């Protein structure tokens, strides 16, 4: 049969020489490679003391965004949960009451919103599916825990802080077309 590549090697069963039987040349050859690597630039970092810089579109843990006035953007439509291939998202919807207009942007909001980070595969489908630009993935990693229930992130972990200085910038995750659209205040979506 004709070989598809020239990488195959014919194994010989010839008798080993004395030097081959004491393995010394092979050990020295291996040590030469090891020492050669000692003086090369390291490709690993001392995590967790040192963190790598992630790309702006890295898919790490999620954030539930607020709008410019600090109101929660999520309207509990459930599209993110339907889009999620890992069935990691659950929520309970509630109706906004009079006087809560400064808390929730839409008439319906998520009273409970949970993501099971052990199920999540960080595919970003929830981010893509959301019509309200309420959920985004971020550059932050999910921290390790000893108990499984700690990986179920609820609103306290997911909703971004009210303090404008602590908001999470997601503008680099959006296309120029979306950012341009958001500037147009004629659309209810942008008000
Ligand atoms: S990133 Fe993917 S797997 Fe994770 S919650 Fe979103 S849709 Fe589900
Ligand atoms: S995060 Fe977006 S898609 Fe998911 S329920 Fe809220 S508004 Fe709907």
CATH number of the domain at 114, please: 3.30.70.3270
* Rounded distance between C-alpha atoms, residue 169 and residue 65, angstroms: 10
Residue 1's pLDDT is 64
Determine which residue's CA is closest to atom 8 belonging to ligand 1.
84
Report if residue 34 sits inside a domain. Answer: no
Q: Model pTM greater than 0.75?
A: yes
Residue 174's pLDDT is 86
Report if residue 168 sits inside a domain. Answer: yes
Question: How confident is the prediction along the chain (191 residues), in pLDDT tens digits per residue?
Answer: 677 787 887 888 888 889 889 999 999 999 999 999 998 988 899 988 998 888 989 999 999 999 989 999 999 999 999 999 999 999 999 999 999 999 999 999 999 999 999 999 999 999 999 999 999 999 999 999 999 999 999 999 999 999 999 999 998 988 888 888 878 878 776 76
Cβ burial, residue 70 (10 Å; 0-12/13-18/19+): middle
Query: What are the Cα distances from residue 135, in Å, to 148, 149, 159, 166, 173?
Result: 23, 22, 9, 17, 11
Residue 153's pLDDT is 98
Report if residue 99 sits inside a domain. Answer: yes
Residue 136's pLDDT is 97
Report if residue 9 sits inside a domain. Answer: no
Domain count along the chain: 1
Report if residue 74 sits inside a domain. Answer: yes
Report if residue 172 sits inside a domain. Answer: yes
Report if residue 103 sits inside a domain. Answer: yes
For 86, the domain range is 62-190
Report if residue 40 sits inside a domain. Answer: no
Distance 33 CA to ligand 1 centre (A): 43
Work out which ligand 2 atom sits closest to the CA atom of 135.
1
């Amino acid at each position: 049969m004709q070989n598809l590549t020239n990488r195959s090697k014919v194994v010989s069963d010839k008798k080993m020489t004395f030097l081959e039987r004491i393995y010394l040349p092979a050990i020295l050859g291996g040590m030469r490679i090891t020492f050669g690597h000692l003086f090369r630039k390291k490709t690993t970092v001392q995590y967790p003391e040192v963190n790598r810089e992630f790309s702006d579109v890295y898919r790490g843990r999620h954030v539930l965004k607020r709008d410019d006035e600090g109101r929660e953007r999520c309207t509990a439509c459930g599209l993110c949960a339907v889009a999620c291939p890992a069935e990691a998202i659950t929520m309970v919807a509630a109706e906004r009451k009079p006087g809560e207009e400064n808390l929730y942007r839409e008439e319906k909001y998520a009273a409970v919103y949970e993501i099971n980070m052990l199920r999540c595969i960080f595919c970003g489908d929830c981010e893509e599916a959301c019509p309200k630009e309420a959920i985004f993935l971020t550059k932050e990693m999910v921290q390790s825990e000893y108990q499984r229930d700690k990986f179920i992130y609820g609103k306290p972990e997911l909703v971004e802080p009210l303090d404008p200085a602590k908001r999470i910038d997601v503008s680099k995750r959006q296309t120029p077309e979306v950012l341009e659209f958001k500037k147009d205040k004629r659309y209810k979506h942008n008000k």
